[in-house]
Structure 1
Amino acid sequence: MLTITAVIRAKRGHEATMRQALLDVVEHVRANEPSIVGYHVSQDASDPCVFATYERYLDQAAMDRHNNSPAVAKFFDVAKPILDGDVILVSANEIASVGRVVG
């Protein structure tokens, strides 16, 4: 399993715009990318300018399809002018996972 973790900081005052841009990507993934195993977006509880994604892919082809999708291009069109610093990316090979159904 391949993973990407991204830490994204929005400029103060642009939190809602960044949040919506990330949620738009989630909708695209849900509707169009069945080979993504998991796509999680979080907003920091103490600093609403900080967001994180955790993405799980079946293989490199799935990761490439996602990263080259129109949804990701649109996200960066929206996000680039409101980023506060560089996006921190960690691409990795997952070595363990535990999942639970809650609710």
Structure 2
Amino acid sequence: MITITAVITAAPGSEGVMRDALLKVADHVAANEPETVGFFVSQDLADPCRFTTYERFADEAAMHRHNGSAAVAAFFAVAEPILAGKVVLVTAAEISAKGA
């Protein structure tokens, strides 16, 4: 399993726009990406401008399809102007997971 963890911080006052943009990606993934095994979006309790995504892909090809999708491109078109700093990305091989 390939994973991506992203930490995304919106400029103050833009957190609602960022939240909506992330949820649009999540909706797209649910409807169109069966090989994206999980796509989780979280909003920080202490700092509502900070979001984390945790993305699980069946393989690298699925990750590349997701990252190259129109939904991800549309997200970055909305997100880039309202980012407060760089997006922190960690791409990894999952070594353990608890099943739902």
TM band (smaller chain): over 0.9
Instruction: Report the Cα distance in structure 1 between the residues aligned to 2:81 and 2:37, rounded to whole angstroms.
Output: 30
Structure 1 residue 99 displacement after superposition: 2.1
TM-score, structure 1 as length reference: 0.96
Structure 1 residue runs of 5 or longer lacking an equivalent are none
Task: Give distance in 2, aligned partners of 1:71 and 1:4.
Answer: 16
Following the alignment from structure 1 to structure 2, what is the Cα–Cα distance between the partners of residues 10 and 42? 13
Partner of 1:54: 54
Question: Quick one: percent identity of the two aligned structures?
Answer: 62
Count of paired positions:
100
The CA distance in 2 between the partners of 1:68 and 1:12, in whole Å, is 28
Q: Which residue of 2 aligns with 1:31?
A: 31
Matched, 1:69 2:69: yes
Structure 1 residue 85: Cα displacement: 0.2
Deviation at 1:76, TM superposition (A): 0.1
Equivalent in the alignment of 2:21: 21
Counterpart-to-counterpart distance in 1, 2:42 and 2:24? 14
Structure 1 runs of 4+ with >3 Å offset: none
| 1:25 counterpart letter in structure 2 | V
Quote the offset at 1:66 in angstroms: 0.2
Letter of the 1:79 counterpart: A
